[in-house]
């Protein structure tokens, strides 16, 4: 079914009277785009560090800073327990670098191997951590659901500081301190911080505290500039696809500015180089679609320690070697994902040819699927059928005892209208025997269950989705920012849009629709459609366009000379020459 195309609506209360709140330097086009995203004044667009909310409102901040201050004074042994994605890797790297810069001598990290230990601070990870004899464990990008793990650590005499941003459950771990803007009673204004954002705020508050007490002077060290690590914050924030509210836009913008200026970690620069990205032209999507996946590949297929070492490395040559490893892993990930996607679509075809009979909440499983890649598969299938999808992989168990002792791990992706973590919570409440553990956000979540419970869970999940959604929710919709005039299809507009972000989750990059005349059409790179378009029938204004992964049985089509597109306006650079290029997101008619 072709998605419904609608133009982004601007609420009446945000129209003409509020336009005067924008400065004259903001073009009418940008004003329209911003109003459609809920921005009503120039102040909301400010991206200076001064616009960041102060850390004081973070619940648990005083206790967290106290634990870190004590660790410094006593030169305790500190162990970071990270997560196996880009947010976890950047959080781990930032904590290591900042604590060392503040004078801590004994700090190390451990990232649970997802294939052996699963996610978070589990009792098994605590047992592994005990071999390093830590006085304090700091969780980054995890821990809010680690009730049993924290209990095991406390019983072993280890203090625990949790930093996380995932949604908490009904019971919180009994840690010495918890920093999570989403925990009950936390009044921090931005609930959308990534894990690396939470750590950045904690460490910034610690630096302020140490300045007040004269720690740096007493130790003869220079107080670190926290802005030095904003490249890590920007990368982790974008890669984790958290909503870009003003706080996150500030953090991402400032990090991108540092990368553009060449003030970035050698590992990030090496990953950009391998992706063929010019740091001086970097935008948020480059972090999300080129650097992030290469970093994530380590956690999906191997060990995220490779990614962390890449980010920690100060020698450009060694950083390049780590980056090459990550690039190779990402190539392997692409092959695995492509195979899994073909298998997933084949299962989908077998389920039903009748769209009305397709489950509203779809569960898919294949014994050969890779548990590090099922999240990507769920996302691809979700985009195709526009309904919540959970893809499961076999996480192993005792094969001799059959299904009774095997575990399935699932990764869930949702659509607007269904809070996927809350949906899993509802299933767990109604059927407490089905899910072993779960956690996540509104649009993405993870869970584990016994293989024997899979059929019952799939049925219960579908029922819960049907309870919450309506048929209209299952209709895919593409929301555009309307049409651009021929005069707006220009390099000036392209540069304006590139510099007016950062664009991302809940602050989407401008998307336009329009009708064009086809002058030339051909396939490049096996399945990408390269177009030369004319804005007018006289074909006086020409513009390039490219549509990726088209159906080569449909395109090119010599019988089509007029086309309606949904597109993003971009700038292509070839041999130092800039030109306008349309990045086609959808072909409406042919």
Pairing label, strands 437-440, 389-397: unpaired
Q: pLDDT value at position 399? A: 42
Measured in whole angstroms, the distance separating CA 533 from the mean position of its chain's CA atoms is 34
Give yes or no on whether 55-325 and 342-475 have one common fold. Answer: no
Task: Report the 3 state secondary structure along 294-347.
Answer: HHHHHHHHCCCHHHHHHHHCCCHHHHHHHHHHHHHHHHHHHHHHHHHHHHHHHH
| pLDDT band at residue 16 under the 50/70/90 scheme | very low
Token pair, residue 33, equals 């785009």
Neighbours of 219 (CB within 10 A): 12
Contacts of 562 (CB under 8 A, 6+ apart): 515, 516, 517, 518
Distance (Å, whole) CA 200 – CA 61? 12
Model pLDDT, residue 283: 96
- Of 2.60.40.4070, 3.90.1640.30, 3.40.50.150, 2.40.110.10, the CATH number of 55-325 is 3.90.1640.30
For the chain, domain boundaries: 55-325, 342-475, 479-589
pLDDT at position 349 is: 82
User: Could you tell me the pTM of the whole model?
Assistant: 0.92
DSSP helix/strand/coil, 489: coil
Contact in structure between 522 and 556 (CB atoms under 8 Å): yes
DSSP annotation of 505: T
CA 174 to CA 154: how far, in whole Å?
9
Tell me, what's the pLDDT at 117? 73
Tell me the CATH number for domain 479-589. 2.40.50.460
Report which DSSP code applies to 474: G
* Tens of pLDDT, residues 31-79: 999 999 999 888 999 999 999 999 999 999 999 999 999 999 999 999 9
Tokens of 137: 């464990």
Mean pLDDT (whole number) for 562-582: 93
In CATH terms, the fold of domain 342-475 is Diaminopimelate Epimerase; Chain A, domain 1 (3.10.310)
Count CA within 13 A, CB hemisphere, residue 198. 35
Please tell me the distance from the alpha carbon of residue 260 to that of residue 266, in angstroms, as a whole number: 13
Per-residue DSSP letters for 524-539?
A: ETTTEEEEEEESSTT-
Is it the case that residue 398 has pLDDT exceeding 70? no
Cα separation, 365 vs 114, in Å, equals 18
Over residues 453-489, the pLDDT tens digits come to: 999 999 999 999 999 999 999 999 999 999 999 999 9
Name 273's Cβ contacts closer than 8 Å, sequence gap at least 6: 320, 323
pLDDT digits (tens, 9 = 90+) for 244-300: 999 999 999 999 999 999 999 999 999 999 999 999 999 999 999 999 999 999 988
pLDDT in tens, 182-205: 999 999 999 999 999 999 999 999
Helix, coil or strand: residue 352: coil
Give the pLDDT band (50/70/90) at residue 17. very low
- Where do the H-state alpha helices sit in 118-194? 123-130, 147-155
DSSP annotation of 507: B
- pLDDT of 191 reads 96
């Amino acid at each position: 079914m072709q998605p419904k195309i609608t133009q982004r609506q601007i609420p009446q209360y945000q129209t003409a009277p509020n336009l005067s709140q924008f400065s004259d330097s903001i073009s009418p086009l940008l004003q329209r785009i911003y109003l459609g995203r809920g921005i009503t004044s120039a102040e909301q667009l400010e991206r200076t560090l001064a616009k960041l909310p102060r850390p004081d409102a973070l619940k648990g901040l005083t206790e967290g800073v106290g634990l870190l201050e004590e660790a410094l004074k006593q030169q305790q042994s500190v162990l970071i327990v990270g997560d196996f994605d880009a947010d976890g890797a950047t959080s781990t790297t930032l904590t290591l670098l900042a604590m060392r810069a503040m004078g801590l001598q004994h700090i190390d990290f451990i990232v649970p191997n997802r294939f052996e230990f699963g996610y978070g601070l589990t009792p098994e990870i605590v047992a592994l951590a005990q071999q390093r004899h830590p006085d304090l464990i700091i969780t980054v990008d995890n821990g809010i659901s680690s009730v049993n793990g924290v209990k095991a650590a406390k019983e072993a005499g280890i203090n625990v500081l949790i930093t996380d941003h995932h949604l908490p459950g009904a019971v919180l771990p009994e840690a010495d301190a918890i920093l999570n803007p989403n925990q009950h009673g936390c009044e921090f204004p931005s609930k959308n911080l990534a894990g690396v954002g939470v750590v950045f705020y904690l460490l910034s508050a610690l630096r302020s505290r140490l300045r007040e007490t004269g720690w740096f002077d007493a130790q003869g060290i220079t107080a670190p500039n926290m802005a030095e690590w904003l490249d890590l914050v920007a990368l982790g924030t974008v890669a984790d696809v958290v909503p870009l509210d003003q706080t996150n836009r500030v953090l991402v913008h400032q990090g991108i500015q540092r990368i553009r200026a060449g003030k970035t970690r050698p590992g990030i620069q090496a990953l950009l180089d391998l992706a063929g990205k010019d740091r001086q032209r970097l935008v948020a999507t480059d972090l999300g679609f080129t650097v992030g996946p290469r970093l994530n590949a380590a956690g999906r297929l191997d060990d995220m320690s490779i990614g962390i070492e890449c980010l920690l490395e100060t020698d450009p040559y060694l950083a390049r070697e780590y980056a090459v490893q990550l690039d190779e892993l990402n190539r392997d990930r692409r092959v695995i994902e492509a195979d899994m996607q073909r298998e997933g679509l084949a299962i989908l075809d077998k389920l039903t040819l009748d769209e009305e009979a397709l489950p509203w909440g779809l569960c898919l499983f294949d014994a050969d699927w890779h548990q590090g890649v099922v999240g990507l598969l769920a996302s691809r299938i979700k985009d195709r059928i526009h309904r919540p999808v959970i893809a499961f992989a076999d996480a192993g168990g005792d094969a001799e005892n059959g299904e009774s002792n095997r575990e399935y791990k699932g990764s869930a992706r949702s659509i607007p209208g269904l809070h996927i973590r809350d949906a899993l919570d509802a299933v767990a409440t109604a059927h407490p025997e089905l899910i072993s553990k779960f956690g996540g956000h509104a649009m993405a979540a993870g869970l584990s269950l016994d293989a024997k419970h899979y059929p019952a869970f799939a049925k219960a999940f579908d029922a819960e989705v049907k309870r919450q959604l309506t048929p209209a929710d299952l209709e895919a919709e593409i929301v555009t920012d309307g049409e651009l005039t021929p005069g707006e299809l220009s390099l000036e507009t392209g540069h304006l849009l590139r510099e007016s972000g950062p664009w991302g989750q809940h602050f989407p990059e401008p998307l336009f629709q329009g009708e064009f005349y086809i002058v030339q059409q051909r396939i490049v790179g096996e399945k990408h459609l390269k177009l030369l378009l004319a804005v007018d029938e006289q074909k006086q204004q020409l513009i390039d366009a490219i549509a990726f992964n088209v159906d080569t049985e449909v395109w090119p089509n010599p019988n089509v000379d007029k086309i309606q597109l949904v597109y993003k306006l971009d700038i292509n650079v070839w041999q130092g020459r800039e030109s306008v290029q349309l990045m086609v997101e959808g072909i409406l008619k042919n």
